[in-house]
Amino acid sequence: MATARSTPNIAFIKYWGNRNNDLRLPAADSLSMTLDTPSVEITVDHADTLSVQSFQANGSEKVLQEKDIARFQNHLDLTKEYFHQIGLASVISSSTSIILRSHIPSSIGLASSAAVFSCLARAYAGLIKDKTNLDDEQVSIIARLGSGSAARSIYGGYEALIAGEGDVIDSSYGMQVANEKHWLLHDIIIVPTQEEKKVGSTEGHALAWTSPYYRKRLDQMPRRQKECWDAIMTKDFEKLQRVVEEDCWDMHNVMQTSIPPLQYLNDETYRITDAIEELRESENIPVLYTMDAGPTVHLFCPDDAREKVLAFANAQKGCRIFETKVGRGAVLL
Ligand code: PMV
């Protein structure tokens, strides 16, 4: 039996679209910050058949749909395929039992899949540790097989998902850019709506190539990835802000022009990002925004801007606010 804990990460340079959907091999590199909270905990054990139980923060059991269980089964099958490939064919002989406890409030618009699959990957590594010690890169590959972005939550601080090339299962993996002590950035989350997103990112990735702007996006990705990486290493917030917002709008442009179009943002998102741009200009506050596959706005800022950004967030009527900061990623308990 093994238990792990992990948290979500928020991408500065977004992962959108795969070169191989079945193996979740991304079409381009991405880069993110791992959050300190909220967390999920997963306990795994060997079992004859797969069982998955999921509990919410208040202790109540969440009834999982058939498609949720199928995703865990698919992830286990791919994980076993990967183990087979690296000469560990029998480490998980038949199946596993999975008990998941999530402290991620369903209302804050934070996708839990990065936290869940990074946590599960770390727990699987713990389960087989008497037979072999997997390194973080190998654990990140197992995480990626469940959710591409999960490969990044294996690491604390700032981390990249390296796309790699070809169709081999381990050709794409996560790596750390800088650890959580490198730069204290806060993420103040503004949630304008509680609606469940209509098209999940797994289905969304498959539509990326239908947008006429997707190839142009891929051309820009190496430059953006490098600028973002440099901005983090040199703690250049202004440079980070420019490239993060450029990439965020570009991803949403691809989403909105795919067939069928995916509109994850709403009027409130646009109102909030306009207001942030005004605030930044009038008061010279270091703050940047980014949005994933939903209308939730993430405001990132260094420590000295935290109070002003929090005051701005709390002044947004009808929105929920959640505050977090850079964190340490998936750990074995
Ligand atoms: O890991 P997935 O398949 O849930 O995809 C994540 C997609 C975005 O959140 C929109 C971008 C990202 O890089 O996290």
* Model confidence band, residue 114 (pLDDT cutoffs 50, 70, 90): very high
What's the token pair of residue 148?
């591409």
What would the mean pLDDT of 134-139 be, rounded to a whole number? 98
331 falls within a domain = no
Answer whether residue 275 shows pLDDT above 80: yes
Instruction: Please check whether residues 142 and 79 belong to one and the same domain.
Output: yes
Q: Is the CB of 71 under 6 A from ligand 1?
A: no
Q: Is the CB of 292 under 6 A from ligand 1?
A: yes
Q: Is the CB of 118 under 6 A from ligand 1?
A: no
Instruction: Please check whether residues 246 and 163 belong to one and the same domain.
Output: no
Average pLDDT, the chain: 96
Q: Is the CB of 172 under 6 A from ligand 1?
A: no
pTM over 0.95: yes
208 falls within a domain = yes
Helix (H) or strand (E) holding 69: helix 66-85
Q: In the β-sheet with 61-62, what is the strand arrangement from edge to edge?
A: 61-62, 51-55, 95-102, 40-47, 2-6, 331-332
Instruction: Please check whether residues 15 and 133 belong to one and the same domain.
Output: yes
Instruction: Please check whether residues 169 and 242 belong to one and the same domain.
Output: no
Looking up residue 156, the CATH number of its domain turns out to be: 3.30.230.10
* 293 CA closest ligand 1 atom index: 10
Q: Which residues pair with 191 in a beta bridge?
A: 320
pLDDT tens digits for 147-184?
A: 999 999 999 999 999 999 999 999 999 999 999 999 99
Instruction: Please check whether residues 267 and 146 belong to one and the same domain.
Output: no
Instruction: Please check whether residues 218 and 248 belong to one and the same domain.
Output: yes
Of 182, 198, 222, the position where a domain reaches its end is: 182
How many separate domains does the chain show? 2
SS3 state at 141: helix
Whole-number pLDDT of residue 111: 77
> What angle do helix axes 66-85 and 113-127 make, rounded to 10 degrees?
50
Looking up residue 294, the CATH number of its domain turns out to be: 3.30.70.890
Instruction: Please check whether residues 36 and 150 belong to one and the same domain.
Output: yes
Q: Whose CA is nearest to atom 6 of ligand 1?
A: 149
Q: Is the CB of 11 under 6 A from ligand 1?
A: yes
332 falls within a domain = no
Instruction: Please check whether residues 13 and 142 belong to one and the same domain.
Output: yes
Instruction: Please check whether residues 102 and 223 belong to one and the same domain.
Output: no
pLDDT tens digits for 279-306?
A: 999 999 999 999 999 999 999 999 999 9
| Separation CA 261–CA 204 (nearest Å) | 10
37 falls within a domain = yes
19 falls within a domain = yes
Q: Is the CB of 113 under 6 A from ligand 1?
A: yes
Whole-number pLDDT of residue 58: 86
Of 143, 162, 182, the position where a domain reaches its end is: 182
Cα distances from 10 to residues 98, 128, 292, in angstroms, run 25, 29, 8
Of 138, 157, 182, the position where a domain reaches its end is: 182
pLDDT tens digits for 191-226?
A: 997 666 678 899 999 999 999 999 999 999 999 999
Instruction: Please check whether residues 238 and 213 belong to one and the same domain.
Output: yes
How far is the centre of ligand 1, averaged over its atoms, from the C-alpha of 333 (Å)?
Answer: 26
Q: Is the CB of 298 under 6 A from ligand 1?
A: no
Instruction: Please check whether residues 84 and 101 belong to one and the same domain.
Output: yes
Whole-number pLDDT of residue 57: 83
Instruction: Please check whether residues 150 and 16 belong to one and the same domain.
Output: yes
Domain assignment of residue 151, given as a range? 2-182
Q: Is the CB of 24 under 6 A from ligand 1?
A: no
| Separation CA 273–CA 313 (nearest Å) | 11
* 24 CA closest ligand 1 atom index: 3
* Cβ neighbours for 204, distance < 8 A, ≥ 6 positions apart: 16, 255, 262, 293
CB under 8 Å, gap of 24 or more: what pairs does 210-218 form? 210/258, 210/259, 211/253, 211/254, 211/255, 211/257, 211/258, 211/259, 212/257, 213/250, 213/253, 213/254, 213/257, 214/17, 214/254, 214/258, 217/16, 217/28, 217/250, 217/251, 217/254, 218/17, 218/27, 218/28
225 falls within a domain = yes
Query: Any idea what DSSP says for residue 104?
Result: S
The residue whose CB lies within 8 Å of the most ligand 1 atoms, and thus the one to mutate among 16, 158, 297, is 16
102 falls within a domain = yes
The residue type of 114 is: A
65 falls within a domain = yes
| Phi, psi dihedrals of residue 111, rounded to the nearest 5° | -65, 130
